[in-house]
Amino acid sequence: MRRKIVGSSWKMHITSFDEGSTLSRGIAKRVGQRKDIDIFFLPSFPLIQCVESCFTDTTIKYGAQNVSVAEKGAYTGEVPINLLKELGCTYIELGHAERRTTYNETNEVVNQKARLCERYDIVPIICIGESTQDLDYKIGHTQLRTQIIWALDGVSDEFKKKVILAYEPVWAIGKEKSADKAYIEKTHAFIRQCVREVYGVATANQIRIIYGGSVSPQTASELANSEDIDGLFVGRFGLQAENFEKIIDNFVKGGK
Ligand code: PGA
């Protein structure tokens, strides 16, 4: 049985400690004691400690939006994984579409970082998704399959089961509405089938696949009872504690 999980990356939307701590405290107050679902937040690096202190005595976990491929050395501007481990990060996001396009994060780099996460026992949230161009060329599924196989190469079978795959169609990020339910369900089923074919039934049954891309409280209601959708990855619409709570509530309760 896979546990539901809802989390949010703040990307670079939060630009002051004041804003970050107000939001974290609001979230802690509203959903900090929930035990029916896993919850996580990924702030910018300098905000991690602030989030950590606001989430003390809650069930909420936190992590980072990126990490260096190198463990240490002369890599100006990079952040080593050991510091993230010492800060108590449970998760690290890898391969978000914005990082793939703007910062040239390749499948190979995503794979190196995924292997590093295994060494430090930090769960990677690996973003995969097809672009409009992939759809135009009718290679949407090929793109997803390629990203999965690259990302998980050399990762142990045990660790693969812990990994979170975040399906984020590139064309649905930063839009008014998420992709539609039928499309998301079909694609999640494809992703699980792909994991089953390549890594076997046990991994496919345990790996969590979450949806991201303009997730709102409405998306959360729509996707609540879908078999292959284990969670949501929230962006802009989770930047208010009240809204985030609604997303959690709607996803847990769904059509019930
Ligand atoms: P968005 O971001 O909800 O603001 O579209 C989603 C994401 O990129 O994870």
pLDDT digits (tens, 9 = 90+) for 99-123: 999 999 999 999 999 999 999 999 9
pLDDT tens figures, 180-227: 999 999 999 999 999 999 999 999 999 999 999 999 999 999 999 999
**What whole-number distance in Å separates Cα of residue 128 and Cα of residue 87?**
26
Quick check: CB of 174 below 6 Å from ligand 1? yes
Is the pLDDT score of 256 beyond 60?
no
Percentage of the chain lying above the pLDDT 70 cut = 99
The whole-number pLDDT of residue 255 equals: 52
CA of 239 to the centre of ligand 1 (A): 11
Closest atom of ligand 1 relative to the 238 alpha carbon: 3
> Of 136, 196, 207, nearest to 167 (Cα)?
207
The whole-number pLDDT of residue 57 equals: 96
Closest atom of ligand 1 relative to the 233 alpha carbon: 9
Quick check: CB of 214 below 6 Å from ligand 1? yes
Residues 40-44: contacts with CB under 8 Å, at least 24 apart? 40/5, 40/7, 40/8, 40/90, 40/91, 41/7, 41/8, 41/9, 41/10, 42/7, 42/8, 42/9, 42/10, 42/91, 42/93, 42/125, 43/10, 43/14, 44/10, 44/12, 44/14
CA distances from 31 to 83, 84, 196 (A): 27, 24, 34
CA of 142 to the centre of ligand 1 (A): 23
Closest atom of ligand 1 relative to the 172 alpha carbon: 5
Quick check: CB of 43 below 6 Å from ligand 1? no
Closest atom of ligand 1 relative to the 235 alpha carbon: 3
CA 37 remoteness from chain centre: 15
Place of tokens 């606001």: 54
Is the pLDDT score of 30 beyond 60?
yes
**What whole-number distance in Å separates Cα of residue 59 and Cα of residue 34?**
7
The whole-number pLDDT of residue 1 equals: 82
Is the pLDDT score of 50 beyond 60?
yes
Tokens of 209: 């696949």
**What whole-number distance in Å separates Cα of residue 241 and Cα of residue 20?**
11
Active site residue 168: yes
CA of 56 to the centre of ligand 1 (A): 26
pTM of the model: 0.98
CA of 97 to the centre of ligand 1 (A): 10
The whole-number pLDDT of residue 254 equals: 81
The whole-number pLDDT of residue 90 equals: 98
Task: Tell me phi and psi for residue 210, to 5 degrees.
Answer: -115, 155
Local structure of 111: helix, strand or coil: helix
103 Cβ neighbours under 8 A, 6+ residues apart: none
> Of 57, 68, 67, nearest to 29 (Cα)?
57
Q: How confident is the model at residue 126 (pLDDT cuts 50, 70, 90)?
A: very high
Quick check: CB of 236 below 6 Å from ligand 1? yes
Of 98, 118, 168, 245, the active-site residue reads 168
Hey, how many other C-beta atoms are within 10 angstroms of the C-beta on 73? Answer: 8
The whole-number pLDDT of residue 86 equals: 98
Hey, how many other C-beta atoms are within 10 angstroms of the C-beta on 26? Answer: 17
CA of 49 to the centre of ligand 1 (A): 23
Type of residue numbered 198: V
pLDDT tens figures, 128-179: 999 999 999 999 999 999 999 999 999 999 999 999 999 999 999 999 999 9
